[in-house]
Amino acid sequence: MIKKTLKINGVERILILDKDETLAQVLRNHLLLTGCKIGCGEGHCGACNVIMNGKVTRSCIYKMSRVPDNAEITTIEGVGTISDMHPIQVAWMAYGCAQCGFCSPGFIISAKVLLDNNPSPTRKEVRDWFNKQRNLCRCTGYKPLIDATMAAAAVMRGEMTKEDLV
Ligand code: FES
C-alpha cells in the first residue's frame, strides 16, 4: 500500500492505495469520478484522459506508484458543472459532438489543455493536436469536434459568449 496526497479538482485528498491500481481505477472506483471512461484500457483511445500537472494523462495505464505526490489532477467533473459549464462543454453540445458520448470527456480534456496553452489555435493546430493526443471517436467524425474547439476558443478569448453558441 502507498499513501498519496493529491489535489483533485481543487480538493486535497489523502489516499491509501494499492500501488498497482491505476489512476483511472482510483478516480472511478474510490472517488466515484466516473467521467473518465475506460475504453481500450491500454492507452490507445484517450477516453480516460485527465489533466495531471497541466498535461493530458492516460489514467487507464498510469499506475498510482508513478503519480507524483501533490500532483494536481483535473477530471471532466472539475472542468465545469451542470450550472456553470465550461465553454468547451457548451460547444460540444452546440456542435453535436456526442452521439454515444463515450469519448467526449477525453476529447474535452485534450481540448482544454490545448486552449489553456494556445488560446488562438488554427483549425490545423486543433486537428494536429487531437491526432497527436490520439483521441478516438467512432460516431461523429472529427469535423464537429474541431468546429466546437474553435468556437470554444472564441468564447474563451471573449469574442463571443456561451449563450451565442446555443
Ligand atoms: Fe485509456 Fe483508452 S481507456 S486510452
Whether residue 18 sits in one domain with residue 38: yes
Whether residue 93 sits in one domain with residue 74: no
| DSSP secondary structure code for residue 30 in this structure | I
Residue 139 has pLDDT above 90, yes or no: no
Q: Tell me: ipTM over 0.85.
A: yes
Count of the separate structural domains present in the chain? 2
Quick: pLDDT tens for 59-70: 999 999 999 999
Nearest CA residue ID for atom 4, ligand 1: 43
Residue with cell 488560446: 119
Of 79, 84, 32, 75, the C-alpha closest to 57 is 75
Q: How far is 2 from 18, CA to CA, in rounded Å?
A: 6
CA of 157 to the centre of ligand 1 (A): 31
Is any ligand 1 atom within 6 A of the Cβ of residue 38? yes
Residue 24 has pLDDT above 80, yes or no: yes
Domain that holds residue 110: 87-165
Q: How far is 48 from 135, CA to CA, in rounded Å?
A: 10
Residue 140 has pLDDT above 80, yes or no: no
Whether residue 119 sits in one domain with residue 56: no
Helix%, strand%, coil% for the chain, nearest 5: 40, 15, 45
Quick: pLDDT tens for 79-127: 999 999 999 999 999 999 988 899 999 999 999 999 999 999 999 999 9
- The C-alpha cell that represents 40 in the structure block: 481500450
CA of 24 to the centre of ligand 1 (A): 9
